[in-house]
Amino acid sequence: MPEGPEIRRAADRIERAVGGRVATKIGFLFPHLKRFEACLQGQVVTAIQTRGKAILVQFAGGLSVYTHSQLYGRWYVVSKGKLPRTNRSLRFEIHNDQKSALLYSASDIEVLTPGEVERHRFLSKLGPDVLSKDVHENAILERITDRRFARRQLHALLLDQGFVAGLGNYLRSEILFLARLHPSRRAGELSANEASALAHCILSVSKQAYRTGGITNDLDRAKAAKADGMRRAQYRHHVFSRGGRRCWSCDVEIHREVLGGRNIFYCPSCQPGPEHPTTSKGAKRRL
């Protein structure tokens, strides 16, 4: 599933194609949304917002089209009159006199008033968005130290869109590696320094992934690896998808575990758990 950075990059492409322009044609596949086509046609698309993994297409008249791509949804941007080569099913289309933005296969599509956006069952429960310009480290730190999350293990907490919005599977492994925290640690047992490091990494890793198209590794290292002929998949991450390979930092073998049905990767030396006690200052390693 695409994570916040991939969703925001898709939103940027949609924004460049249809943002600030009159939508000359709007189409919905679902019969219950067809009544909105005539109403939205002729309106300017004012913004493409992302909230975690959801995209909101806002129209000048006040309505927004809410979309959540889940596993299969995919946006394409094409020149007017063209269609992408795909066997997917076209669910929502926005056209202007030059470009088209087309959403395929997504099942979560709704047309909402501003009040309905505020009260929306999914949007209203989201935590602060990791890619929002208005969200700073302090806001993330407040979430980490909030008592309601204290008992949660970090591997589960980071996937909870109600904690912070926009993180997914590769980001959680990379964030925990860079914050040097074992996935089994609980939010409530972090030292002040550890909580600050986690808050910092939640934002910095997500923002780097957004800027680079998903590279979370050290950028100088990634550049050198690329120059050496290494494939992108090999140098893209610190630990994610690198089970059994050597940690770039310490040369110890990276572990893969399945937690909550999803793969998580970590370095047992850089992120020691209870079975690998550390002498580093202030670190408590308990499950």
- Minimum separation from the CB atom of position 232 to Zn ion (A): 21
- Minimum separation from the CB atom of position 217 to Zn ion (A): 13
178 binds Zn ion (CB under 5 A): no
Report CA-CA distances (Å) from 26 to 29, 88, 101, 107.
10, 18, 10, 17
> Which residue, 215 or 270, is less far from Zn ion as judged by CB?
270
Q: Which stretch binds Zn ion (CB under 5 A): 13-21, 60-68, 96-104, 268-276?
A: 268-276
> Which residue, 95 or 238, is less far from Zn ion as judged by CB?
238
> Which residue, 158 or 254, is less far from Zn ion as judged by CB?
254
**Is 3 labeled as catalytic in the residue annotation?**
yes
**Is 226 labeled as catalytic in the residue annotation?**
no
Beta bridge partners of 112: 64
> Choosing from 226, 256, 262, 268, which is the catalytic residue?
262
- Applying CB under 5 A, the site for Zn ion has a residue count of 6
215 binds Zn ion (CB under 5 A): no
- Minimum separation from the CB atom of position 45 to Zn ion (A): 46
**Is 53 labeled as catalytic in the residue annotation?**
yes
Task: Show the binding pattern over residues 235-264: x = contacts Zn ion (CB under 5 A), - = does not.
Answer: ------------x-xx--------------
**Is 194 labeled as catalytic in the residue annotation?**
no
> Choosing from 53, 180, 185, 285, which is the catalytic residue?
53
Q: Which tokens hold the place of 113?
A: 């008033």
Note whether 165 and 240 are within 8 A (CB).
no
> Which residue, 91 or 255, is less far from Zn ion as judged by CB?
255
CA distance 172 to 181: 11
- Minimum separation from the CB atom of position 147 to Zn ion (A): 32
Residues that bind Zn ion (CB under 5 A): 247, 249-250, 267, 269-270
Q: Which residues are catalytic, by number?
A: 2-3, 53, 262
